[in-house]
Structure 1
Amino acid sequence: MTREFSTEPALPAGAIAGSPQPELAADGGLVLRPWDDADAPVFLAAYQDPAIRRWHTRRPASEDAVRAWFEGYRRDWEGERGGHWAIAAADGEVLGRIALRGMDFDDGLAVCAYWVLPAARGARVASRALRALSAWALDDIGFHRLELDHSTRNEASCRVALASGYAWEGTKRSAAVHDDGRHDMHLHARVRDDAGRFGPPKAPSAS
């Protein structure tokens, strides 16, 4: 069945899949690069960290499962559904993960997600990576709106979002299941023409 729209898609088909997934440079010598099968051990180890386990309930059980995830990541890129990157230091050490998921080319939307390994925390790794990914997605590719959400109890992720220009837009009640039950989620977003319109992103009000 042919789909008919009254408006043109915000992004044309082939906007990303027509070329290999790029490496992206971030401030401080960080590099966002596609995952490689050789990264499977460090990726699996990340999900043994209590903080990562607290906020991420979908977790790989083995290196084989990780490599299957990586193959899914490659298919996501080819199918223009998402992009998944390792956040690496200049020497190649993996510091974290960042992704752009749920790509909607009709409306020009996508959703960001990230985590950082314990040894790299406190060095603004996540915010530097998120700013670099956001600039690529909004300015180079042409997405109009990027979103991210996090548990209202995850104050560190909230700081990353605000530091990266993602305004807090509200609270999604009982929107996600974590190991200890359902959590309310803060919704943040960054829009391509935000600069100069809204001022600094506002922080969530105290609950």
Structure 2
Amino acid sequence: MTRALSTPPVIVPGSLGSSPQPVLAAPGGLLLRPWAEADVPAFLAAYQDEEIRRWHTRRPSSETHALEWFQAYRQDWAREKGGHWAITRDGEGAVGRLALRGLDFDDGTADVAYWVLPAARGAGVAPHAVGALTAWALEDIGFHRLELDHSTRNHASCRVALKSGYLLEGTRRSAAVHEDGRHDMHLHARIRTD
């Protein structure tokens, strides 16, 4: 069933999924690229890190499970549901993850999510990667608004959001479940005119 809109979509459906997922360059020698089978060890290791486990309740449990996630990531791109990138440095293996999820082409909105491996923290990896993805999504693709949320207890993620130009808009009370119970979530956003 086709639904009629009173306004045209902000982004034309088919404009992403009809092309391969792009590789994006970011400052600091970073490259954002689709996940590959060779990334499985780093991906699994990430979910053994205490900080990543604290804030991410969905976790792969095996190599097979990780490969299934990578396949789902490719399907998300083809179906225009999301994009998932490995953050790499100087052509080496993955040092982090970046995702653009919940793509809404009608309103031109999407959500940003990320994590960085312990060895790469404190070097600007997350802000540089988020900045590169944000520029691509807002300027090249034409999204109007990108949102980023995190637990109010996750101070490092709040710093990344602010360094990446995502303004704090408010607190979503009891909005997410973590291992230690429900958390309030800070909502940050960037819009094309920021």
Shift of 1:128: 0.2
Instruction: Report the AA paired with residue 9 of structure 1.
Output: P
> What pairs up with 1:1-207 in 2 under 5 angstroms?
1-194=1-194
* Cα contact 2:46–2:117 (8 A) shared by 1: yes
TM-score by length of 1: 0.93
The secondary structure found in structure 1 opposite 2:106 is coil
The secondary structure found in structure 2 opposite 1:69 is helix
Shift of 1:47: 0.2
Shift of 1:177: 0.2
Q: Distance in 1 between matches of 2:77 and 2:92?
A: 22
CA-to-partner distance for each residue in 1:69-111, whole Å, 9 max, x for gaps? Answer: 0000000000000000000011322110000000000000000
In the comparison of the two structures, how many residue pairs are matched?
A: 194
Q: Distance in 2 between matches of 1:39 and 1:176?
A: 28
* Cα contact 2:81–2:101 (8 A) shared by 1: yes
Structure 1 stretch 10-19 or stretch 65-74: which is displaced more?
A: 10-19
Q: Distance in 1 between matches of 2:126 and 2:17?
A: 25
Instruction: Report the AA paired with residue 116 of structure 2.
Output: V
Identical-residue share of aligned pairs (%): 69
Instruction: Report the AA paired with residue 180 of structure 1.
Output: D
Residue segments in structure 2 that go unaligned for 5+ positions in a row: none
Q: Distance in 1 between matches of 2:130 and 2:91?
A: 20
* Cα contact 2:31–2:91 (8 A) shared by 1: no
Q: Distance in 2 between matches of 1:119 and 1:92?
A: 13
The Cα RMSD (Å) is 0.6
CA-to-partner distance for each residue in 1:12-71, whole Å, 9 max, x for gaps? Answer: 011111110010000011000000011111101110000000000000100100000000
The secondary structure found in structure 1 opposite 2:28 is helix
Q: Distance in 2 between matches of 1:143 and 1:11?
A: 7
Runs of 4+ in 1 over 6 A off after TM superposition: none
TM-score by length of 2: 0.99
The secondary structure found in structure 2 opposite 1:114 is strand
The secondary structure found in structure 1 opposite 2:75 is helix
